[in-house]
Chain A
Amino acid sequence: MRCLLYVSCWLVCAACSSAYKKLQRTEAGTACVAAFKPSFTRALYNAQVNVTGKHLSGLLLIKTMPDSSVRVVFSSEAGFTFFDFEWNKHAFKVHYIFSQMDKKPVIRTLRKDFELVLMRHLDAPGAYTLKEDETYYRVFPNGKDFYYYITDSACANLLQMERGSRKKKVVEAVMLAGNDGMPDSIGIKHHNFSFDIGLKRLYDIER
């Protein structure tokens, strides 16, 4: 019984332990991450969302506008708009959000998830690099959040993207590159609650 208690305590502590504890500071630069920044001219994705046991699917459009702002619009297959977000040079704007989703924590979570994938914080002051063996974590602080872009030592491959605190991982994301500089698929998974987003590129029949 006592043994079981020790094991349970150890498991709990292991779960709480810092995801970034073993990482060592290195002089390697962070500028190379910009090469992985996706250039979303216009991409349509089939979106699968699982949140706390509920499933939702739809279409997600990511488009760069003539003024360089980026719009992310999520709608149902039948056309009903769930949200329409904009990132411009200076600000984030909610153009529309379905009333039942119009809650600050929901908007904040979605905003940060897309900012991780869109790589909106690469010009953050105080960026630095951590490493563990041959894996490099290029870190971009933004307030209390830290955006981690994990690469190989040569910064030739982007392995994963993460957001968290200095110690704890909150969300991770992966991107599979497409042929035209826009990702073919994107996966986002939260660690603090059951929420994941899967995006698979669709190629429209006509426009």
Chain B
Amino acid sequence: MREIVLTVILCTAVMAVKAQYPGYKLLADPSAFQTQFATASQKTNTIKSDFIQEKNLSLLAEKIVSKGKFWFRKENAIRMEYTQPFQYLMVINGSNVYIKDSQKENKISTKSNKLFQQINKIIIDCVNGRALQGNDFKVRIFEGSTAYLAELSPVDKNLKTFFSHVNMIIEKKDYAVSRIEMHEPSGDDTSLQFVNRQFNTPLADALFAIR
């Protein structure tokens, strides 16, 4: 009887995992993936890309789409420039953040705010791949036909109030992150799809300057 119950539980668990991400299956041993991904990340010094952001409001059956341009430079510099349907600029350079909206500009040092520091780190770590190696998340890797899906569940209770989990879609062909999905505890999610990506092109210092 115990075996039957155990089998049912195991089958249900397997089905739940399969149903969680259609087209993907859980990797029991992700070490080969981790090595390949770390190698590819090491070789990526800059990324220049367009992005499409989609905020899905689940209960409202509503989607808010915005577009813009994205730049990343190793180790920890990011510039995100929203161009449609609003203008908004965010530059992260180390521990400094610069934000310019349609009305004001603001400089923030994340050193003074632990939560801001954590969110800053997540953004950077998701782009440069360190999020898969650190202790901030419990990581599960799923394999699909053309991509891997890395599911990151935050360990820190403060971060859990922001994200239930963050998913990264990593292309098999080049081990580059093509999409980041941030799932909120409310059931809403925001995805960032990177398109027209260019790797290791020279990027001017001015893009990441915070004056």
Binding site for B on A (CB under 8 A): 42, 44, 46, 48, 55, 57, 59, 61, 63, 65, 71, 73, 75, 77-81, 84, 95-96, 98-99, 198, 200, 202-207
Q: Which of B143-202 contact A (CB under 8 A)?
A: 161-162, 182, 184, 186, 188, 190
Q: Report whether over half of chain B's contact residues are helix, strand or loop; otherwise say mixed.
A: strand
Residue of A nearest to B63 (CB): A207
Given known contacts A61-B64, A96-B186, A205-B67, is B86 in contact with A77 (CB within 8 Å)? yes
Residues of A within 8 A of B63 (CB): 207
Closest B residue by C-beta to A57: B101
Q: Which residues of B contact A (CB under 8 A)?
A: 53, 55, 57, 59-60, 62-67, 80, 82, 84-86, 88, 90, 101-104, 106, 161-162, 182, 184, 186, 188, 190
Residues of B within 8 A of A207 (CB): 63, 65
Q: Is there an interface contact between B88 and A95, defined as CB atoms closer than 8 Å?
A: no
- List 14 additional contacts besides A42-B62, A207-B63; criterion CB under 8 Å: A46-B102, A57-B102, A59-B86, A61-B62, A71-B60, A75-B64, A77-B86, A79-B190, A81-B184, A98-B161, A202-B85, A203-B85, A204-B65, A205-B85
Give CA–CA (A46, B190) in the complex, Å: 18
Q: Give B119's nearest chain A residue, CB to CB.
A: A80
CA distance A44 to B65 in the complex (A): 11
